[in-house]
Amino acid sequence: MPVEVILPKVDMDMATGRISRWYVGEGATVKKGDLLFEIETDKAAMEIDAPASGTIRDISGKEGIDIPVGEAVAWIYAEGEATAAKPTQEAPARPIALNETAPAAAATANVPEVVSAKAVNATPSNGTRATPLARRLAAGAGLALDAIAGSGPKGRIMRRDVESAMTAPKVEVKAALWPDQIISRPPASSQPRPAPQLSAGAAPLNFAWLRQGEGRPIVLLHGFGADLNSWRPMLAAGPVDAPMLALDLPGHGGSPRQTPADLDAVAVDVEATLAALDVGPVLLVGHSFGGAVAATVAARGDADVRALALIAPAGLGPEINGAFLQGFVRAKSEASLMPWLRQLVVDEQVLSKPFVNATLAQAADTELRTAQADIADRFFADGTQTFDIRSLITGLRIPVRVIVGANDRIIPASQSQGLPGEVALHTFAATGHMPHVERREQVLKILLEMARA
Amino acid sequence: MDQAVRELSYAQAIQEAMAIAMETDERVFLMGEDIGVYGGAFQVTGDLVERFGADRVIDTPISELGGAGVAVGAAVTGLRPIFEFQFSDFATLAMEQIVNQAAKMRYMLGGAVSVPVVMRFPAGSGTGAAAQHSQSLEAWLGHVPGLKVIQPSTPYDAKGMLLAAVADPDPVMIFEHKLLYKTKGPVPEGYYTVPIGKAAIRREGRDLTIVATSIMVHKALDAAKTLEAEGIDVEVVDLRTIRPMDKETVIESVKKTSRLLCVYEGVKTLGVGAEVSAMIAESEAFDFLDAPIVRLGGAETPIPYNPELEKATVPQVPDILAAARSLATGSR
């Protein structure tokens, strides 16, 4: 009997949801726990893992359309299982509500033994199955357990489920984490900044509005080997009232798999994308390689960059961890990837399962990693940063802040020394190459301050 | 002073510890059945009778109760006896002396006497010695306040913990797994001690804690190697002492990994792993658990003679692999 993959209820008052992105395609072989797709509601984004191992078939949940909660979006067939085993469509689609009682499930006796039954059986709050650790983490983050879908046996909520919920939480909940600030938020009915509805052809790079809001947009450029999703953990760290636009750099994420000739070529693509989206004046933020791109864009002056934030930027000195670049690009399995990911951070606990899964999903894309190996060869040949952004920064007349981790093992923190006096330098102790992940609350606060200034 | 480190077997390390103890303290002597000219049932005492004479390496009659009584009495009078049982199973014959006398005397006499006796118990299965010569009874003695119960897993610890036991003012029971006697490892020359009551982290990891005792430490380390290749990073804690138990090391480890697997050869029910599990459930580590605690212990049966059945009654590496995988992947 194939296992049904449903659109889960990730939010208490959620009736429908959208799949923003499938990580696997029709016919793909998945293992239980592999990342399948990402759901976005108006408040939350959550990554959904495979409930069983097997082959994905009958993907009916298309990206970007509203799908009722509880509806089957795909099926997982065990090896050798005939596709005809799938029940016919007349089996009623059952909305899965967490406070629904068991008889509702009994009424659908024809429905195969489905994973979604766990959600039906779950009862609110005190009856919820959750590990002690999950309970403690959820309490600490102000998350209600009955709003979290459990992935463990019999729907037990585990650490990974709470962490997924924390990565893309409800805004109201997260506000509790930031008690020293009351953010006045327009009610949902007021007009947020509309997401530009341009055809993708006009913008050379893939992009996503990760948050909407009022005020100056914050444009985010990820680092080497990452993609626009790498900013999501930071956005979950606190209330965000500014619009956030994230781009995929060339050779990364959903952007064309090409190797740009130099930083100017990347900058041209970024500028064209910002122009196509008509974003107006922006705060430009770049991490690592994206930092070098951001500085280049700011220096060229074609885009309206009003402030620049560079997080662990490349291009401030010659040395970079060449072994990391090579090892990271080559790693295909969790076992070979984890040692390199650990190089990125001081506190390994921040390497959450969704983060690792997302990185693994990219690692499985051979064409993507091949393109990135080319980019590494071009920009970081022989463990050396072949470009210099110091002179670019020195000539800028906009506010510039550099944010680094003192214990960066990819690009030494010492390279951030000796910048012009008007450039602000934030150095976080006990932090590695990803301050926006390890010190997400503080970095987000800095960026929002800059956007409001 | 630098001490040379050699490879010694577990049995050689124990013999060396007893020799050093006798050289450095004239109150120390050995007792046991066939430990003199024969060299001990497992050849642990070897030729010590030739080096120290029959007055200090004493063959006793075949009466564990009598021998244990003499040892306890000698300890009360100020000597430091080391009493060897041929098989730990025969502790049952000496329970009166161990449980009612050695463990109680300090308390019942208001601290006026100490009972610094050391008893050595060759323990465990795997030698085809069947039901009456293969048991793991450490939890029996671990249940008795007044005793200290240790299970060294390496030659280094076997020597250092035996010397610590001789120096200890209270009765110390040493359970030596018979299959460990021939295993080798680095052992420094000369006198050193390994503290009683302190666990050792044999391998650091972040996904799962395996608390193991005695030979199970080695099986857990074997399993950890395989699991590492699968991306499961196992921390292996060698408990070393079951009374008094090093709660802090286990608690800290579980707080780090959020998952606990207890592996021990004694019968699962009411065994060492039961105590570790309950201790963790009562501790601050409870709020860090992300999965139910799992125990792998001996089967609820006397140890069979048939070698295949004998293996099947105690945890083996594939059992540890299966339990660790299901724990680490969240499927149990």
| SS3 category, A72 | strand
Query: Could you tell me if A264 and A300 are in contact, meaning their C-beta atoms sit under 8 angstroms apart?
Result: yes
Residue showing tokens 């459990």: A150
Query: Could you tell me if A325 and A383 are in contact, meaning their C-beta atoms sit under 8 angstroms apart?
Result: yes
CB-based contact, B256 to chain A, within 8 Å: no
A168 — pLDDT class (breaks 50, 70, 90): low
- B2 in any annotated domain: no
Percent of chain A with pLDDT over 90: 24
Query: Could you tell me if A324 and A289 are in contact, meaning their C-beta atoms sit under 8 angstroms apart?
Result: no
DSSP-assigned letters across all residues of A13-67: T-SEEEEEEESS-TT-EE-TT-EEEEEE-SS-EEEEE-SSSEEEE-----BTSEE
So what's the pLDDT on residue A42?
64
CATH number of the domain to which B207 belongs: 3.40.50.920
- B3 in any annotated domain: no
Write down which residue in B137, B162, B188 finishes a domain: B188
Regarding whether B314 and B206 lie in a shared domain, the answer is: yes
Q: Are strands B172-177 and B148-150 parallel, antiparallel or unpaired?
A: parallel
Give the whole-angstrom CA distance, residue A71 versus residue A76. 14
So what's the pLDDT on residue B238?
98
Q: How many helices (H) and strands (E) does chain A have?
A: 15, 15
Residue A438 has pLDDT above 60, yes or no: yes
Each residue's pLDDT tens digit, B129-163: 999 999 999 999 999 999 999 999 999 999 999 99
Burial class (CB in 10 A: 0-12, 13-18, 19+), A367: exposed
- B320 in any annotated domain: yes
Regarding whether B259 and B170 lie in a shared domain, the answer is: no
Nearest chain B residue (CA) to A333: B231
3-state helix, strand, coil in chain A (%, to 5): 35, 15, 45
The least confident of A352-356, A418-422, B205-209 is: A352-356
Residues 6+ apart with CB under 8 A from A147: A10, A11, A12, A98, A165, A170
Regarding whether B316 and B177 lie in a shared domain, the answer is: no
Residues 6+ apart with CB under 8 A from A173: A141, A142, A143, A144
Direct distance between the N- and C-terminal alpha carbons of chain A, in angstroms, rounded to an integer: 58
Give the whole-angstrom CA distance, residue B197 versus residue A447. 52
User: How near does any CA of chain A get to the CA of B297, in Å?
Assistant: 23
So what's the pLDDT on residue A395?
84
**Region at B135 (left for phi over 0; alpha for psi -120 to 50; beta for the rest):** beta
Regarding whether B218 and B184 lie in a shared domain, the answer is: no
Residue showing tokens 């793991």: B136
Regarding whether B85 and B219 lie in a shared domain, the answer is: no
Regarding whether B181 and B206 lie in a shared domain, the answer is: no
Each residue's pLDDT tens digit, A324-354: 888 888 888 888 888 888 889 998 888 877 7
3-state secondary structure chain B: CCCCEEEEEHHHHHHHHHHHHHHHCCCEEEEECCCCCCCCCCCCCCCHHHHHCCCCEEECCCCHHHHHHHHHHHHHCCCEEEEECCCHHHHHHHHHHHHHHHCCHHHHCCCCCCCCCEEEEEECCCCCCCCCCCCCCHHHHHCCCCCEEECCCCHHHHHHHHHHHHHCCCCEEEEEEHHHCCCEEEEECCCCCCCCCCCEEEECCCCEEEEECCHHHHHHHHHHHHHHHCCCCEEEEECCEEECCCHHHHHHHHHHHCCEEEEEEEECCCCHHHHHHHHHHHCHHHHHCCCCCEEEEECCCCCCCCHHHHHHCCCCHHHHHHHHHHHHCCCC
Nearest chain A residue (CA) to B229: A335
Residue A177 has pLDDT above 80, yes or no: no
Interchain CB distance below 8 Å, A133 and B231? no
Backbone angles phi, psi at B58, to 5 degrees: -100, 120
A12 — pLDDT class (breaks 50, 70, 90): low
Write down which residue in B159, B188, B217 finishes a domain: B188
The least confident of A150-164, A305-319, A351-365, B35-49 is: A351-365
CB-based contact, B51 to chain A, within 8 Å: no
So what's the pLDDT on residue B204?
97
CATH number of the domain to which B47 belongs: 3.40.50.970
Interchain CB distance below 8 Å, A133 and B229? no
So what's the pLDDT on residue A119?
38
DSSP single-letter state for residue A92 = P
Regarding whether B168 and B103 lie in a shared domain, the answer is: yes
- B159 in any annotated domain: yes
User: How near does any CA of chain B get to the CA of A103, in Å?
Assistant: 27
Each residue's pLDDT tens digit, B215-259: 999 999 999 999 999 999 999 999 999 999 999 999 999 999 999
Query: Could you tell me if A73 and A54 are in contact, meaning their C-beta atoms sit under 8 angstroms apart?
Result: no
Regarding whether B211 and B112 lie in a shared domain, the answer is: no
- Would you call B133 a catalytic residue per the annotation? yes
Interchain CB distance below 8 Å, A152 and B228? no
Closest CA to A285 of A277, A294, A293: A294
**Region at A343 (left for phi over 0; alpha for psi -120 to 50; beta for the rest):** alpha
Residue B19 has pLDDT above 80, yes or no: yes
* Best residue of B254, B277, B290, B331 to probe chain A, by most A CBs closer than 10 Å: B290
Residue A124 has pLDDT above 60, yes or no: no
Looking at the whole model, is its pTM more than 0.80?
A: no
Interchain CB distance below 8 Å, A153 and B230? no
Q: How far is C-alpha A256 from the chain's CA centre?
A: 19
- B261 in any annotated domain: yes
Domain ranges, residue B120 = 8-188
So what's the pLDDT on residue A75?
85
Regarding whether B47 and B170 lie in a shared domain, the answer is: yes
CB-based contact, A31 to chain B, within 8 Å: no
DSSP-assigned letters across all residues of A337-379: HHHHHHHH-S-GGGS-HHHHHHHHHHHT-HHHHHHHHHHHHHH
So what's the pLDDT on residue A92?
41
Interchain CB distance below 8 Å, A159 and B230? no
Closest CA to B37 of B54, B12, B23, B21: B54
Mean pLDDT across A38-42: 75
So what's the pLDDT on residue B148?
98
CB-based contact, B329 to chain A, within 8 Å: yes
- B42 in any annotated domain: yes
What mean pLDDT is reported for chain A? 79
Write down which residue in B168, B188, B208 finishes a domain: B188
Of A118-127, A232-241, B93-102, which one has max mean pLDDT? B93-102
Structure tokens at A94: 């059952």
Regarding whether B59 and B147 lie in a shared domain, the answer is: yes
So what's the pLDDT on residue A193?
39
Q: How far is C-alpha B59 from the chain's CA centre?
A: 24
So what's the pLDDT on residue A43?
65
Out of A33, A159, A348, whose CB is closest to B290?
A: A159
Out of B229, B233, B288, whose CB is closest to A133?
A: B288
B229 contacts in A (CB within 8 Å)?
335
Out of A158, A334, A348, whose CB is closest to B231?
A: A334
Residue showing tokens 């306890």: B72
So what's the pLDDT on residue B309?
97
- B75 in any annotated domain: yes
Query: Could you tell me if B32 and B72 are in contact, meaning their C-beta atoms sit under 8 angstroms apart?
Result: no
- Would you call B33 a catalytic residue per the annotation? no
Interchain CB distance below 8 Å, B330 and A338? no
B280 contacts in A (CB within 8 Å)?
none
Regarding whether B103 and B213 lie in a shared domain, the answer is: no
Interchain CB distance below 8 Å, B290 and A334? no
CB-based contact, B288 to chain A, within 8 Å: yes
Out of B229, B290, B331, whose CB is closest to A153?
A: B331
CB-based contact, A131 to chain B, within 8 Å: yes
Query: Could you tell me if A37 and A21 are in contact, meaning their C-beta atoms sit under 8 angstroms apart?
Result: yes
Q: Which domains does chain A have, with CATH numbers?
A: 3-173 (2.40.50.100), 202-452 (3.40.50.1820)
Nearest chain A residue (CA) to B293: A131
Interchain CB distance below 8 Å, B287 and A136? yes
A126 — pLDDT class (breaks 50, 70, 90): low
Closest CA to A431 of A422, A421, A423, A441: A441
Structural domains of chain B, count:
2
Each residue's pLDDT tens digit, A48-75: 888 888 888 888 888 888 888 878 888 8
Residue A404 has pLDDT above 60, yes or no: yes
- The CA angle A387-A390-A394, to the nearest 5 degrees, is 145
Interchain CB distance below 8 Å, B290 and A134? yes
Nearest chain A residue (CA) to B226: A335
| SS3 category, A426 | strand
Out of B231, B287, B289, whose CB is closest to A335?
A: B231
Mean pLDDT across A388-411: 91
CB-based contact, B289 to chain A, within 8 Å: yes
Mean pLDDT across B264-268: 98
CB-based contact, B230 to chain A, within 8 Å: yes
Distances (CA, A) of A370 to A26, A66, A258, A264, A287: 23, 35, 10, 22, 21
Residues 6+ apart with CB under 8 A from B170: B106, B114, B115, B116, B146, B147, B148
Of A128-137, A208-217, B251-260, which one has max mean pLDDT? B251-260
- B227 in any annotated domain: yes
Catalytic pick among B16, B84, B133, B310? B133
The least confident of A115-124, A148-157, A279-288, B184-193 is: A115-124
Out of B233, B289, B331, whose CB is closest to A133?
A: B289
Query: Could you tell me if A423 and A397 are in contact, meaning their C-beta atoms sit under 8 angstroms apart?
Result: no
Between chain A and chain B, the number of residue pairs with CB atoms below 8 A apart is: 44
B233 contacts in A (CB within 8 Å)?
338
User: How near does any CA of chain A get to the CA of B231, in Å?
Assistant: 4
Residue B150 β-bridge partners: B174, B241
CB-based contact, B225 to chain A, within 8 Å: no
Query: Could you tell me if A76 and A30 are in contact, meaning their C-beta atoms sit under 8 angstroms apart?
Result: yes
Regarding whether B230 and B184 lie in a shared domain, the answer is: no
CB-based contact, A322 to chain B, within 8 Å: no
The least confident of A4-13, A359-368, B186-195 is: A4-13
Out of B228, B233, B258, whose CB is closest to A159?
A: B258
Each residue's pLDDT tens digit, A223-276: 999 988 888 888 878 788 888 999 999 999 888 888 888 899 999 999 999 988
3-state secondary structure A180-203: CCCCCCCCCCCCCCCCCCCCHHHC
User: How near does any CA of chain A get to the CA of B195, in Å?
Assistant: 32
So what's the pLDDT on residue A171?
40
Interchain CB distance below 8 Å, B290 and A151? no
